[in-house]
Amino acid sequence: MSQLHSRFSCVIFSLDWDSLRDVSLDVIKALDVWNSLLEYSRSVRSKVIVALATEEEETSVADFQEKQTSLLQVLKALLGEEFNALVPLFKLGMEKKSADILLQMLERLSREYHTSELTRLKNKTKKSREHELRCMFKAGRHCLVVRDLKTATECLEDAYDCLRSIVSSRAPMELRMCGTIIVIHILNAAKAAYSVATGDKYYNICENHMTLLEEPLSECESNTLAQFLRLLLIDELHFWLAKNTSCMTRSICASHLCASMAALEGALRLSRPIEKSEERLAAPPMIGVECCLDSHQCIYFLKETAVFLSERARGLLSDAASLTNPSAEVLYASMRLNVMLGRADAALQLLGKLWEQGVKSYDCTKSVHGLLMELTDSAAGDVVQKCSREVAFAFASLCFGPGSSEQQNSFRDLFVSAASRYPSDLLLSYPHKGYYAPFTVLCVFTHVHDNSSSHKMELTFCTHSIDTIALDSISVGLSRLCKGKVDGWGLQSSMNGPVELCSRNANTVSFLFCLEDPGVYFCSAVSARVRIGAICLNVEWRFDEIEIELYIFSIFHV
Cα 70 to Cα 348: distance, rounded to the nearest angstrom: 77
**CB-CB contact of 49 with 13 (8 Å):** yes
Q: Per-residue pLDDT for 300 more than 60?
A: no
Which of 3-7, 245-249, 297-301 is most confident? 245-249
- Cα–Cα distances (Å) from 352 to 358, 369, 375, 432, in that order, read 10, 13, 16, 10
- Banded model confidence at residue 489, pLDDT cuts 50, 70, 90: low
Q: Per-residue pLDDT for 318 more than 80?
A: yes
Q: What share of the chain is helix, strand, coil (3-state, %, to 5)?
A: 55, 20, 30
Give the per-residue pLDDT at 183.
96
Rounded to a whole number, what is the largest CA-CA distance in the chain? 132
Q: What is the mean pLDDT of residues 362-382?
A: 82
Give the per-residue pLDDT at 448.
61
With a pLDDT cut of 70, the percent of the chain lying above it is: 84
- Banded model confidence at residue 482, pLDDT cuts 50, 70, 90: confident
Q: What is the mean pLDDT of residues 168-195?
A: 90
Q: What is the mean pLDDT of residues 266-270?
A: 87
- Banded model confidence at residue 2, pLDDT cuts 50, 70, 90: very low
**CB-CB contact of 539 with 527 (8 Å):** yes
- Banded model confidence at residue 17, pLDDT cuts 50, 70, 90: confident
Comparing 134 with 222, the larger pLDDT belongs to 134
Give the residue from 115, 113, 101, 120 showing the smallest Cα distance to 9. Answer: 113
Comparing 365 with 3, the larger pLDDT belongs to 365
**CB-CB contact of 201 with 226 (8 Å):** no
- Cα–Cα distances (Å) from 198 to 17, 103, 511, in that order, read 59, 41, 63
Q: What is the mean pLDDT of residues 37-41?
A: 81
- Banded model confidence at residue 256, pLDDT cuts 50, 70, 90: very high
Q: Per-residue pLDDT for 462 more than 90?
A: yes
Give the residue from 136, 130, 188, 183 showing the smallest Cα distance to 158. Answer: 136
Comparing 488 with 81, the larger pLDDT belongs to 81
* DSSP conformation class of 293: S
Cα 66 to Cα 58: distance, rounded to the nearest angstrom: 13
Strands 520-532 and 469-482, sheet pairing: antiparallel
Strand partners, 16: 53
Q: What is the mean pLDDT of residues 530-544?
A: 90
CB atoms within 10 A of CB 390: 23
Comparing 280 with 440, the larger pLDDT belongs to 440
- Cα–Cα distances (Å) from 1 to 156, 179, 285, 299, 557, in that order, read 15, 14, 9, 17, 84
Specify the range with the lowest mean pLDDT, choosing from 60-74, 94-108, 220-234: 60-74
Cα 546 to Cα 558: distance, rounded to the nearest angstrom: 23
**CB-CB contact of 331 with 350 (8 Å):** yes
Give the per-residue pLDDT at 385.
73
Comparing 444 with 437, the larger pLDDT belongs to 437
Give the per-residue pLDDT at 468.
96
Q: Per-residue pLDDT for 334 more than 60?
A: yes
Give the per-residue pLDDT at 82.
79
Peptide bond into 172 cis (omega under 30): no
- Banded model confidence at residue 528, pLDDT cuts 50, 70, 90: very high
Comparing 35 with 488, the larger pLDDT belongs to 35
Q: What is the mean pLDDT of residues 433-454?
A: 80
Residue type for 519, please? G
Q: What is the mean pLDDT of residues 3-12?
A: 61
- The pTM of the full predicted model, rounded to 2 decimals, is 0.74
pLDDT digits (tens, 9 = 90+) for 156-166: 999 999 999 98
Exposed / middle / buried, residue 81 (Cβ in 10 Å: 0-12, 13-18, 19+)? exposed
Comparing 429 with 1, the larger pLDDT belongs to 429
Cα 380 to Cα 378: distance, rounded to the nearest angstrom: 7
Give the per-residue pLDDT at 122.
85
Cα 177 to Cα 291: distance, rounded to the nearest angstrom: 11
pLDDT digits (tens, 9 = 90+) for 411-429: 999 999 988 777 777 899 9
Task: List, in sequence order, the alpha helices (H) in 83-172.
Answer: 96-123, 129-145, 149-166
Give the per-residue pLDDT at 153.
94
- Cα–Cα distances (Å) from 200 to 126, 197, 204, 243, in that order, read 30, 6, 6, 16
Q: What is the mean pLDDT of residues 48-57?
A: 81
- Banded model confidence at residue 470, pLDDT cuts 50, 70, 90: very high
pLDDT digits (tens, 9 = 90+) for 341-352: 888 888 888 988
pLDDT digits (tens, 9 = 90+) for 78-121: 888 877 888 777 777 677 787 888 888 888 888 888 888 888 88
Give the residue from 462, 444, 446, 463 showing the smallest Cα distance to 454. Answer: 446
Q: What angle do CA 487, 491, 492 make, to 5 degrees?
A: 145
Start-to-end Cα distance in the chain: 88
- Banded model confidence at residue 297, pLDDT cuts 50, 70, 90: very low
Which of 101-105, 148-152, 296-300, 419-423 is most confident? 148-152
Q: Per-residue pLDDT for 1 more than 50?
A: no
Q: Per-residue pLDDT for 286 more than 50?
A: no
